């Protein structure tokens, strides 16, 4: 028989893993866009700055989700 609390934890863990995967994909895609735009001498610098800021925010989110997936050894 399955434990409802364990099922809830498993579902939450799966959601966090999936969210982390999506964030990493978005971060990688944004990195590619920034690299391509950086090569264009006519690039809108404000747009580039906003994309870089978004990339940093994604990095912070990735680190936060990744740290949540590390088991608490004191538990």
The pLDDT of residue 27 is: 97
The pLDDT of residue 13 is: 85
16-72 pLDDT, tens per residue?
899 999 999 999 999 999 999 999 999 999 999 999 999 999 999 999 989 888 876
pLDDT of 74 above 80: no
The pLDDT of residue 75 is: 55
What's the CA gap between 55 and 24, in Å, rounded?
10
The pLDDT of residue 8 is: 79
What's the CA gap between 11 and 53, in Å, rounded?
31
Q: Is 68:16 a contact under the CB 8 Å cutoff?
A: yes
Angle at 54 (CA atoms; ends 50, 59), nearest 5 degrees: 150
The pLDDT of residue 12 is: 86
Buried/exposed code over 55-75 (b: 16+ C-beta within 10 A; e: otherwise): beebeebbeebeeeeeeeeee
């Amino acid at each position: 028989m399955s434990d409802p609390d364990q099922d809830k934890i498993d579902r939450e863990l799966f959601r966090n893993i999936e969210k982390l995967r999506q964030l990493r994909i978005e971060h990688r895609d944004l990195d590619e866009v920034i690299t391509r735009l950086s090569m264009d001498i006519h690039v809108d610098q404000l747009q580039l700055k906003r994309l870089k800021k978004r990339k940093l925010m994604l990095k912070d989110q990735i680190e936060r989700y990744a740290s949540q997936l590390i088991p608490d050894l004191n538990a």
